[in-house]
Structure 1
Amino acid sequence: MPTAAPGIAILGAGLFAKEAHLPALKALGSDAPPLLAVYSRSEKSSRECSEAAVAMGLEPAPAIYRDGAEMNLDALLARPDITTVIVVLPITLQPSIILKAFAAGKHVLSEKPVAPDVAGGISLIKTYNEKYKKNLVWRIAENFEAEPGFRAAGKAIAEGKIGKVNFFKAVVVNHIDVDNKWYKTPWRTVPDYQGGFLLDGGVHTIAALRTMLTHPLTHLSAFASLNHEYLKPHDTIHAVVQAGSHFHGIVELSFGAPTKSVPPADEFVITGSEGWLTVNSVRVEDKSVMRVLIKRAVKPKAEGEPATEVEEVIDNPKMGVEAEFRSFFDAVAGKPTLEIGDPLEALKDVVFIQAGLNSGGELVDLEKLAAEGK
């Protein structure tokens, strides 16, 4: 039913909407607009999401919209009391729904990636900039970019706590089996987009790097492979990467580990001229946090004295989805906000994955790919 306050709708009622988006709205409380509606292609999914919202204390119950009924997506988008939509749909479906929401005059927060491929992302951003940007806010929901832990690491690097960045390493290795809840999502089981889990999940790692590093990644040489047939088209990328003439690094992305236990390794290591830092997910008092560990060399005060090291530990709770929501809602309200969720920045993450999939060992100019789409 219409409400005095402008409200929001969630388009897509899958796992992430229920397990991440609803809790983030609950955590924001009155700082988030009321959730007035939920849309899914099936009534079952839409109803379950609405019921989950109520069980979480988000009341009144969001109205249910689905395909093939009078209460469908068009009817939802026609509601004047819904000014904003959060799009959490399959990767290949999202661009058309985003454009449909723009045409209906809605602000949009859409889940990463910005598009299934670089050319599609360029086209979508161009349409938004030319037709809708003046009146509507569009942000990409990339929770790694919003994570306080990664932002704290980026701030420490920018402040020179490890000196000038010299090189870096990102290692993300996961085991996905056929019983994994994310694999069981039909559009992930038989993906109709490049890279499979590498696109869906790999963009997170690249977003974290661009949040922390002092210069954008400009070139890569990579190889991609498929190690488990059920994860096709690819499940692993290894890349050597350069950031202009400033520094270089290695990125390892795999969803094809053979066992649930994976070799121990720091997720992110960034080494500078005066020290290094790592960023890892850890458990502290039964809570999941992002830990930034900084080690810095201290020059001896007098000749002949030994060099020493200082250590700093920064722990931040994992709250990327909540942070990205808050930033988006502030932007819609015209308030000062974090500079996150820019579609052009999110495009860089897709650029990296697409280049990594297609490089075959050849050097790829990432900036050229981002500009031309091929």
Structure 2
Amino acid sequence: MASRDAGLAILGAGIFAKEAHLPALAKLGSTVPVVKAVYSRSEKSAQDLSTAAAVTLHLDPPPSVYHDGDEASSLDALLARSDISAVLVILPITIQPSIVVKALAAGKHVLSEKPVAPDTVSGRKLINTYLSEYKPKGLIWRVAENWEAEPGYRAAAEVVHSGKIGKIVFFTARVINHIDKDSKWYKTPWRTVPDYQGGFLLDGGVHTAAALRTILPRGLTHLSGFASLNKDYLAPHDTIHTISKAGSHFHGTVEMTFASPTKSKAVADGITITGTDGWVSIAIVSPAAGSDAPVIRTTITTVERDEDSLKEIEKQEVTEEPMQGVAREIESFFAALAGKDDGLGLGDPENALQDVAFIEAALNSDGQVIDLQKLVDLEA
């Protein structure tokens, strides 16, 4: 159980802070520290988050409000508080790296939202700074990539890694999204005019990269692909198609767009891993009646061969896991702060950098083969 005296602060008051992080903290209850402060660039958004936190987490008094424009209530003032030991950073992509360093410099443990940085160069610089200056001081920094923490994806990984479907031959991943100007995600000001590569493809695409990284038995090493812009308001890019491989072991395709013309989908989203003895298909589906949490459905199909009759017998099983990755990543973070290793390996910034490298390579390839390892090994 985490110390309730070692307070927590939330930096960033956007949609995901309210709709994902607050419910996750509520679910974890007394196992995590009390939220004692919130910060946003504007006083109104910080106040709104404080009010929401007070309701969702049953806090009285509500978290203190910090914002830009008032030195006494600035981010520096928040980070100077001795009763706050850790922060959740849920800020725009280009701002996060500097805030992560600021929080670490103030002696706070940090859990920052994905992606780790807007590009591989700044990501490598941030990681190197942490490793050289702050990790030796005992400070913990993790990147909150909730898809790698999802029990559904981790269960699928166990199936694949165990050899149940044989030696992996190929994989496919497909994400088809329809983003219009009325979308709550599009209306976020920093997404409307993104000053980072890929737009929604970076912000949302790293999830798919993380899921593949979690499920596949080997890391991807090379990628070739094409990127395009099909809706001007989703600049700089909204669609990528790639083929990638894990050395000489297996290869696969990734199709991703945020520019579907319709909300309905001609083909279903999901990831399929095919082996010599079967396949695993993983998809996010609507929640069951009475639940508001989407579900990760895993379908496992295997082939058993009858040596006498030479017949092949297919067997299929289906499992479902409610999505709860945000709660799991937060829980794992605070376990690490308490000196406990849960063995999940969540939040490693090096892994999060691999996810950024995948999207960056897809955006820049233009048909050329890109060595993914060279991207993540790049010295800042």
Range into which the TM-score falls when normalised by the shorter chain: over 0.9
Q: Is 1:269 equivalent to 2:269 in the alignment? A: no
Partner in structure 1 of residue 78 of structure 2:
76
Q: Is 1:330 equivalent to 2:332 in the alignment? A: no
**Contact persistence 2:176–2:269 (CA under 8 A):** no
Offset at residue 336 of structure 1 (A): 2.0
Offset at residue 370 of structure 1 (A): 1.1
Report the AA paired with residue 353 of structure 1: I
Report the AA paired with residue 131 of structure 2: N
Out of 229, 248, 253, which is 1:250 matched to?
A: 253
Q: Deviations over 1:67-114 (max 9, x none)?
A: 111111011000011000000000000011000001000000000000
Partner in structure 2 of residue 226 of structure 1:
229
Offset at residue 136 of structure 1 (A): 0.4
Listed as ranges, the matches of 1:1-374 within 5 Å are 5-60=5-60, 61-69=62-70, 70-134=72-136, 135-286=138-289, 287=291, 288-302=294-308, 304=309, 306-337=311-342, 338-372=344-378
Structure 1 window deviating more from structure 2 (257-266 vs 164-173): it is 257-266
Report the AA paired with residue 183 of structure 1: Y
Report the AA paired with residue 56 of structure 2: M
SS in 1 for 2:341: coil
Q: Deviations over 1:150-202 (max 9, x none)?
A: 00000111111111110000000100000000000000000000000000000
Q: Please give the alpha-carbon distance, in whole angstroms, between the structure 2 residues aligned to 1:125 and 1:12.
A: 21
Report the AA paired with residue 318 of structure 1: M
**Contact persistence 2:125–2:379 (CA under 8 A):** no
For structure 1, the residue ranges without an aligned partner over 5 or more in a row are: none
Seq. identity, %: 58
Q: Please give the alpha-carbon distance, in whole angstroms, between the structure 2 residues aligned to 1:340 and 1:189.
A: 30
Distance 1:99 1:235, change over 3 A: same
Q: Please give the alpha-carbon distance, in whole angstroms, between the structure 2 residues aligned to 1:247 and 1:75.
A: 51
**Contact persistence 2:150–2:328 (CA under 8 A):** yes
Structure 1 window deviating more from structure 2 (261-270 vs 60-69): it is 261-270
Q: Please give the alpha-carbon distance, in whole angstroms, between the structure 2 residues aligned to 1:222 and 1:4.
A: 49
Offset at residue 33 of structure 1 (A): 0.8
Offset at residue 58 of structure 1 (A): 3.3
Offset at residue 306 of structure 1 (A): 2.6
Q: Considering only aligned residues, what root-mean-square deviation do their CA atoms show, in Å?
A: 1.3
TM-score w.r.t. the length of structure 1 is 0.97
TM-score w.r.t. the length of structure 2 is 0.96
Report the AA paired with residue 196 of structure 2: Y
Q: Deviations over 1:250-289 (max 9, x none)?
A: 0011101111112122410100010001001123532421
Offset at residue 305 of structure 1 (A): 5.1
Q: Please give the alpha-carbon distance, in whole angstroms, between the structure 1 residues aligned to 2:215 and 2:312.
A: 28
**Contact persistence 1:35–1:58 (CA under 8 A):** no
SS in 2 for 1:133: helix
Q: Please give the alpha-carbon distance, in whole angstroms, between the structure 2 residues aligned to 1:109 and 1:235.
A: 28
Count of residue pairs the alignment pairs up: 371
SS in 1 for 2:94: coil
Q: Deviations over 1:317-346 (max 9, x none)?
A: 100000000000101111122211100000
Q: Please give the alpha-carbon distance, in whole angstroms, between the structure 1 residues aligned to 2:379 and 2:327.
A: 32
